[in-house]
Structure 1
């Protein structure tokens, strides 16, 4: 007879697998959206995760890089939201959705990655020159340059360093035609992180 602890563990594994499958379905259905970039959301996710892995980032940060823009695929404003002057708060939507199954090491850098962009633009003005047109457009909608108080509040966040790394992967993940590991190759790691939460 299976012990109660074993049954709970089995249920956790099943729930983790289901959550990973749900994420895969989201990217399968909306991952071809572009949001003003030359690469699709799925390509961007794969490239960001690739750069995190190449940087020997933690498993949590690799998955954060993969899923940091999932909020774009969950909101109901459409691909042209920025053109209509709407900040979709995709970082909040995405981190909130993922927090149902994934640990803070994944979700907190995602929640902070927009603030990390604003911080970099505030403290390194030449950083703005590296942004794509779409990222610059969203930067303005997301609040632009930070106040001194906002800078201090960002630096006080426990996961701000992870968000800064995630931001670097984000900027690198916009190369057309890059051949790297596909989205599905990360599903086992998503399942593992969801299981041990």
Structure 2
């Protein structure tokens, strides 16, 4: 992949943050872009590996890539944004980035089953979408998730996801993450 190719890919992703990402985020007090940028910043502050920082940053890009938007999700139709986003990003990033993204909705369902107190940490919008996305996992589903190769990373991402909804939090610009993303692009 050439430097120009990398720039073009990152420009495409950045435009999603500046365009659709500037919109309302499922009834939260932050925009979708602020939410994702805060998630990336939380992962970075936690000392996460570069791939997991990228996953936290890009975890909701599927809201911009599918035919069903976040508005439909709030209206009761699961947009499967985790899978849509992971599939789209897999053109350029490896599974260490895409698989935690693919599993971040499942991680919410897992945490609600495995840690009953986690449900109380969910915002009202997350409670609503949890129901649309299948509710807490069964015991068998939770056991399978816990054994999944990318399950632990998805749980870390999910915790940052839920915490990244603070309208007062300092939020870096997308440009802050460009060098990290450029290093992770499949060569």
Q: Compute the TM-score of the two structures, normalised by the length of structure 2.
A: 0.94
CA distance in 1, matches of 2:102, 2:151: 10
Partner of 1:25: 15
Q: Structure 2: 5+ residue runs without aligned partners?
A: none
Preserved CA contact (<8 Å) 1:16 1:192: no
1:69 aligns with 2:40: no
Aligned length: 186
2:46 to 18, 41, 55: 55
Please give the TM-score of this superposition, normalised by the length of structure 1. 0.89
Deviation at 1:85, TM superposition (A): 1.1
| 1:3-152 superposed matches below 5 A | 11-33=1-23, 34-152=25-143
Q: Tell me the equivalent position of 1:193.
A: 184
* CA drift at 1:171: 1.3
Partner of 1:7: none
Runs (5+) with no aligned partner, structure 1? 1-10
Greater C-alpha Rg: 1
Give 1:73 deviation, angstroms.
Answer: 1.5
Which residue matches 2:172? 181
More RCO (CA 8 Å, sep 6+): 1
* 149, 160, 176: which one aligns with 1:158: 149
Across the aligned residues of Structure 1 and Structure 2, the Cα RMSD in angstroms comes to: 1.3
TM superposition outliers: structure 1 runs of 4+ over 6 Å:
none
